[in-house]
Chains A and B, each alone.
Chain A
Amino acid sequence: MTRHIHIVKVHHLTLSFPTRNDPNPKPVLDDVDFGIRDGEILGLIGNSGCGKTMTSLAIAGLLPENAEITSGSIKFAGKNLLEMSPRERRSMLGKDIGMIFQEPSTALDPLMVVGKQLEEVLTAHKENIQTKEERHKTITDMLELVGFTNAEEIMNRYPHQLSGGQRQRVLIAGAALLKPRLLICDEPTSSLDTVTTVSILQLLKELCHNLHITILFISHDLSVVRGFCDRVMVMRDGKIVDRDTASDILSNPRNAFTAELLTNARLDTRIMGFEPIKVDYTKDPVLTATDITAGYGRRLFERGKNKDEKADNKVLHDVSLKVYPNEIVGLIGGSGSGKTTLIRSLLGLLPHSGKVEIKSPRIGVIFQDPVSCLNPAHTIKWHMSEALEASGKANEIKGEGTYKERKAKALARITAVLEICGLGEEHLTRHPNELSGGQRQRVAIAMCLIQDPSLIIADEPFSSLDASSSAELLKLMTDINREQHTAFLIITHNIHIVRQIAPRVIVMSNGKICEEGTTSEVLTNPQSEATSKLLDAERQIHVILPVQN
């Protein structure tokens, strides 16, 4: 195999989505020109919608059908990919170019055991002549390489029996099975918690060194890129605006946009000009939950498998918490610690024992996924008026008058609330798919606000947003907190955010609250093992441990 300095060379690539109405639209990728050196880890960062994913899809040959490459070329190990037949390109996928996606929960077939899915990877490439035993050996070896100690057992598991981090490991194993020369990782860690993120990054780094795999790492999380990548490219609006070695670009940015990204990534409230909020703890709490115990029924497979075991299927054990008016409380914990179950119980969506007392008639809620948080069939205006009607305060606001006057008053209220959330009148008639992720989260907050709640619960609102949108959302939340006196309960795995805006923090682990107190105290002097573990992981993410070999 000949070695090239650049394993992939993208040469002045321009790509757009022409439609019948608009044959010459603004290009999604505009004159993108870069090379990936053999054996390096190249980071590609930028805000959402800047063309990171399109770049990777163009290299892998998985572009949507309506995309059109107007100029440029992509060379992989000297061969021009754009001149190859679809058949040749397909045979390159997996063998020469591997790919890992963001969402590990949807990338595996739920009806196939892991071992079978991995075997599929091997059998899909005909030139790979191996007997069944050999294939089995290859797969177990690879699973052990990605860090499973019980490879045989993992092979016989279904995807739903694995955690998010384990699934991502399986996917990495699948991608590495054929020893591709290039591995494209499209935000592989953004849906994972900090502890898992660290271990996945470590694993990728080991693979890069041991199997000599080149990695193109796409992320919006700068803290992840910092210790992990050799070189970093910054993209904006389809153009590459900055490129340099990782340490240079992140500690000493020369480009204004990179500097802005870095500032946003730091989410430094002192820079953004926040002051800590004063909370009066003598007032009655807005939310009092006492002794909440909740869980799910046992799954079908588990029911059949361990009939004798009387496993405890409770996820939460006697959880009690209070949220005071005008307070921002952070709730942190690793994945599987029962954070989301607690929220569902508090909202009354899950049957539970214990008592939940809420002072206001409504509590607002914001979910993690900005894609499914709004109904795709309706406009923003419909969403807002629906929220207004559901709050039961519609008549109060509309007051007396003709139908037209009442409607105008409701609309005025809707626009006012949207304006608080930084959205203008022009957004009223838009559908959710015409908005960005950050804007959708804003609409979700606006829908909560119009109901005038005393508490808004936010379940991982930042984890799928890029740095700039996160910073804006964070600012919006603190503004609302100060101006509308709404309390926030923020669930997150980003300790950094909690440190910045929440004066009080609650740490959960294994369905119990293991620590509670003022943020500065808990995070500087952790009393429980779970807290110190989370803090360790956060520290590690900035300095990925050197590879042992």
Chain B
Amino acid sequence: MLSSKTKYRSPEASAFYTAGMILLGIVVLAFLISLFWTPYSPDATDASAKLLAPCIEHPFGTDNFGRDVLSRIMSASKYTIYISAAGVAIALILGTLAGIPAGYFGGYIDKGIMLLGNSIMCFPGILLALVAVAVFGASVTNVIWALGLVFAPTFARVCRVGTMEIKELDYITHARVMGVKPYRIMGFHIFPNLVPQLLPATVIGLANMTLFESGMSYLGLGVQPPDASFGKMLSDSQAYIRVAPWLVIFPALMLVFYILGLYFISEGLRVNLAKGGKR
């Protein structure tokens, strides 16, 4: 029936938001608490408590050096969030700065920028990031820059297409006739209208960035020991997967929570924007 369906404003979107917020909230809460307090020091080894199964003292068990898994997960969330957020910020800034002019001016500027973007995109992203890290050395900063560069073309494309659509609209023509300068048109007239498209792209970018970071840490090129990230913890624990499955389960679960949470939020944004666009 019509009326029963129309009670709420987009119930799908709010369901996605709630689920996403809960999942993401777990990871963010762990991160926030880890800033002030962890049950044990994340790097403190204890030879008498190696590979302990989850118990009262160590709710998530201990690893092969006797380090508390809960404390390590909490501190690992810091790196995961930091790397994905900083990487996306770089990708977003570079992508926007390249994509809007490409879409606005068109012609050779567009061709040049998109050629550069496409040549980055035609390599597998992780390979490119691996090469960059291999050349410049494995450190968190290098990983962030490498991932930022790899992800920039995606944002550039979103911006370019959006700009091409918007620049044909009357208010942009009007601004041009009024004599507004191109950089101002791009920054103040076009960019605010791209935000609805960039928002879901950013959230998905965060999730993808985390997966990449985990992959690189897993390969030993990301976060360096003794620091922990979710991917690093997974790669370290693969040898013990039969005797101490909790070493794999808990970091993997956190990774799933983080990424799934982000995806749900982006899905909620998408659904909501799609609904909002309708009249």
Contacts and interface: CB of A to CB of B under 8 A. Distances in A.
Contacts of A501: none
Contact of B279 (A61, A64, A68, A369): A64
A19 B6 contact: no
15 contacts: A64-B279, A67-B6, A69-B2, A365-B174, A367-B173, A367-B174, A372-B171, A378-B192, A386-B175, A386-B180, A386-B188, A390-B175, A390-B179, A447-B174, A451-B178
Nearest to A347: B177
A377 B175 CA distance: 14
B6 A447 contact: no
B3 A69 contact: yes
A63 B2 contact: yes
Given A64-B279, A367-B173, A447 B3 contact: no
B193 A362 contact: no
Contact of A391 (B170, B173, B179): B179
Given A63-B6, A365-B173, 9 more contacts: A20-B9, A64-B278, A66-B6, A67-B6, A361-B179, A373-B171, A373-B174, A375-B171, A447-B178
Contacts of B278: 64-65
Nearest to B7: A68
Interface of A: 19-20, 61, 63-69, 82, 86, 347, 349, 361-365, 367-369, 372-378, 386-387, 390-392, 444, 447, 451
B201 to A, nearest CB: 17
B181 to A, nearest CB: 8
Contacts of A20: 9
Interface in B1-18: 1-3, 5-7, 9-10
B272 to A, nearest CB: 12
A390 B188 CA distance: 13
Interface in B178-206: 178-180, 188-189, 192-193, 195
A284 to B, nearest CB: 22
Contact of A374 (B171, B177, B195): B171
A81 to B, nearest CB: 9
B6 A68 contact: yes
B6 A375 contact: no
Interface string B71-114: 00000000000000000000000000000000000000000000
Given A64-B279, A376-B193, A391 B178 contact: yes
Nearest to B195: A377
B118 to A, nearest CB: 21
A66 B5 CA distance: 8
> Main SS of the interface on chain B?
helix
A372 B171 CA distance: 6
A460 to B, nearest CB: 11
Contacts of B195: 377
Given A82-B2, A377-B192, A451-B178, A66 B9 contact: yes
Nearest to B4: A68
A294 to B, nearest CB: 16
> Sorted from nearest, which 8 A-B pairs have the closest CB atoms?
A377-B192, A367-B170, A390-B178, A372-B169, A372-B170, A390-B180, A373-B170, A375-B171
Contacts of B176: 349
A70 to B, nearest CB: 8
B177 A375 contact: no
A518 B179 CA distance: 33
A164 B74 CA distance: 63
A306 to B, nearest CB: 26
B172 to A, nearest CB: 8
Contact of A375 (B1, B3, B10, B193): B193
B141 to A, nearest CB: 35
A392 B179 contact: yes
Contacts of B175: 375, 386, 390
Nearest to B172: A375
Nearest to B9: A66
Interface residues of B, number: 27
Q: Among A374, A375, A444, A451, which residue has the most Cβ atoms of chain B within 10 A?
A: A375
B78 to A, nearest CB: 35
A372 B179 CA distance: 18
Contacts of B5: 65
B194 to A, nearest CB: 9
Contacts of B169: 372
Contacts of B279: 64
Nearest to A19: B9
A80 B7 CA distance: 21
A365 B177 contact: yes
A364 B175 CA distance: 10
A469 to B, nearest CB: 17
A20 B278 CA distance: 19
Contacts of B171: 372-375
A375 B189 contact: yes
Contacts of A67: 6
Contact of B193 (A364, A368, A377): A377
Contacts of A369: 170
Interface string B6-32: 110110000000000000000000000
Contacts of B2: 61, 63, 69, 82, 86
B177 A363 contact: yes
A65 B6 contact: yes
Contacts of B179: 361-362, 390-392
Nearest to B180: A390
Nearest to A348: B177
A377 B197 CA distance: 13
Contacts of A377: 192-193, 195
A311 to B, nearest CB: 24
A362 B178 contact: yes
A190 B176 CA distance: 28
Nearest to A83: B1
A390 B278 CA distance: 33
A349 B175 CA distance: 12
Interface string B140-154: 000000000000000
A361 B179 CA distance: 9
Nearest to B196: A377
Contacts of A451: 178
Nearest to A65: B6
Q: Among B10, B171, B188, which residue has the most Cβ atoms of chain A within 10 A?
A: B171
Nearest to A365: B177
A8 B275 CA distance: 30
Q: Among B10, B179, B189, B275, which residue has the most Cβ atoms of chain A within 10 A?
A: B179
Nearest to B279: A64
Given A64-B279, A369-B170, A349 B193 contact: no
A263 B177 CA distance: 35
Contact of B173 (A68, A349, A362): A349
